[in-house]
Amino acid sequence: MKNPKIGLGSVQWGLKYGISNNSGQTPDIEIASILNRAREHGVRIIDTACLYGDAENRLGQHSLDAFQMITKRLIFRQLVIQRMLTAFCTVQFVNLCRNFKYPSFMDIWCIMRTIF
């Protein structure tokens, strides 16, 4: 397969996106039509991401055998989860230390060991 010169973006399928977008998300019937037309004209790449609202779910309702998907999903989700977990644990740790009247080194060590 040679490198495609054009791909299809899916952000408007999951979000009301775009400066000139006055109609909101693309309707399901229109997505099917766009995918069929893209397939007929040799488009083989679809760009999607978890940041594109429910675009991935809506894409999953269609036959995508003719396409290669480009997504940022795994790396993004792992990074977000890691950052959220770190932030949550930091807040919990600070709150726990505030709530201990006299936190000992051992108490703090046990908390740190548990959350990290």
Residue found under tokens 């779910």? 57
Q: Across residues 42-71, what is the average pLDDT?
A: 88
Sequence-separated (6 or more) residues with CB below 8 Å from residue 77: 50
Cβ atoms of 55 and 15 within 8 Å: the answer is yes
d(CA 3, CA 13): 25
Q: Across residues 42-67, what is the average pLDDT?
A: 89
Cβ atoms of 52 and 40 within 8 Å: the answer is no
In the chain, pLDDT over 70 holds for what percent of residues?
70
Say what the pLDDT of residue 93 is.
63
Q: What is the pTM of this model?
A: 0.59
Say what the pLDDT of residue 97 is.
60
Say what the pLDDT of residue 81 is.
74
Half-sphere exposure of 13 (CA within 13 A, CB side): 25
Q: Across residues 2-12, what is the average pLDDT?
A: 84
